[in-house]
Structure 1
Amino acid sequence: MKTILSFAALTLLAVSSAAMAQDKQTATADFIGRDGKASGRATLTAAANGGVLIEAEVAGLPANKWVAFHVHETGSCDAAGHHESAGKHFNPTNAEHGLLSAMGPHAGDMPNQYVDQDGVLRAQVFDGMVTLDGKTDGVRGRALIVHANSDDYRSQPAGDAGERLACGVIK
């Protein structure tokens, strides 16, 4: 009996350790729309050699349109304030905005995403400039934002991306 309990305890410890390691390698962000209602979710997974894969599905967006998708600096999604509480784009290196900028991009700059005819954005985006829990490049505790317009990848400071339609705090 003593051997069985010890084996069971070791198994439980191994499973708990694996779960804790998994928690450090993944994060989620639950999106809310401008109306304050739940509109989707993103799952973020740390890549073994750096960077983060972001898989998102967000509903209630304008159909058949390209929209900007960014990491913002503050983990706050106040729908009443049109998600302005999320602050500026996440930019730990003080780079210029834009994937096509000679002095950019921000760590939070990501490619535009397409919203299909059903008004749902479905995306898999890799951001190689961030980590989940790094000291300066970590995104856990920050926010993901879906904007109303596409990013022009050049205009300062935010690519002329327009209003913030959906916001999710990365946890």
Structure 2
Amino acid sequence: MFRSILTAASIGALTALPVMAEQHSNGDMAEIGDSGFVTAARAEVSDREGNSIGTVTINRTLSGTSLVIVALNGVPEGAHGIHLHETGDCSADDFTSAGGHIAGEAEHGVFAENGPHPGDLPNATVGSDGAMTVEAFNARLDIESMVFDDDGAAFIVHAGPDDYITQSAGDAGERIACGVFEPA
């Protein structure tokens, strides 16, 4: 199983960092303690057949940078684009009800002059065991205004990898899994 922490900084660079400490589920920043973060939102992710395949959390850090933690199983082997989408709705059979990426005023991809979207995350590579484990820092994501807005937000797994260039979604293919974020 591959486990990493990746960051999509404001300048769009991706940088590998060491793995952080355990996750807490209490939303009170005073309770962060030694881990450095606390869970703000959680999404139970399901595939197109409705099978639960794991969870994604968005976590608050003392620095103000969000930490997204993906822990899924049963994902097809290969590279997959993963994104935070603008609408908390996975009701459509093809998950198009989740809308586009959380974009703010940015363009898609780390190579865009005004990128990346706050909803852009690094590709995840899944081995033959079907496990997808990713930890990504996201300096552009404002949890209150982008995840907890009136229509919520969702997490999407795409069939193929994001090319980090093609507007507006990276040409990552069909949506194969979805989860709606709820306050933790």
The answer, yes or no, to whether TM exceeds 0.5 is yes
| 1:82 corresponding residue in structure 2 | 94
Identity of aligned residues (%): 39
Residue 48 of structure 1: how far off its partner (Å): 1.5
**Is the contact between residue 72 and residue 89 of structure 1 (CA under 8 Å) also seen in structure 2?**
yes
1:131 is displaced (CA, Å) by 2.6
Contact conserved, 2:39 with 2:57, CA < 8 A, in 1? no
Contact 2:27 2:40 in 1 (8 A): no
Q: CA deviation at 1:132?
A: 2.1
Query: Within 2, Cα distance between the matches of 1:119 and 1:100?
Result: 29
Return the structure number with greater strand share: 2
Supply the distance in 2 between the matched residues of 1:96 and 1:144 (Cα, whole angstroms).
18
Normalised by the size of structure 2, how large is the TM-score? 0.74
2:79 to 44, 66, 86: 66
Structure holding more helix per residue: 1
Partner of 1:159 in structure 2? 170
C-alpha distance 131-47 of structure 1, shift in aligned 2 (>3 A): farther
Q: Does 1:123 align with 2:137?
A: no
Structure 1 pair 120/20, CA: closer, same or farther in 2 (3 Å)? Answer: closer
- Find 1:40's aligned residue among 30, 51, 54: 54
Secondary structure of 2:122's aligned partner: coil
Q: CA deviation at 1:38?
A: 1.0
1:53 is matched with 67
Inter-partner Cα distance in structure 2 for 1:107 and 1:20: 21
Corresponding residue number in structure 2 for 1:103: 114
> SS state of the match for residue 165, structure 1?
strand
Q: Deviations over 1:36-65 (max 9, x none)?
A: 1211101221112222111111222211x1
- Structure 1 length normalisation: TM-score? 0.79
Distance 1:20-1:40 versus aligned 2 partners, 3 A rule: closer
Deviation at 1:20, TM superposition (A): 5.6
2:40 to 26, 33, 52: 26
Larger radius of gyration: 1
Query: Which consecutive aligned stretches of 4+ in structure 1 deviate over 6 angstroms post-superposition?
Result: none
RMSD (CA atoms): 1.8
Where does structure 2 lack aligned partners over 5 or more consecutive residues? Answer: 1-25, 32-37
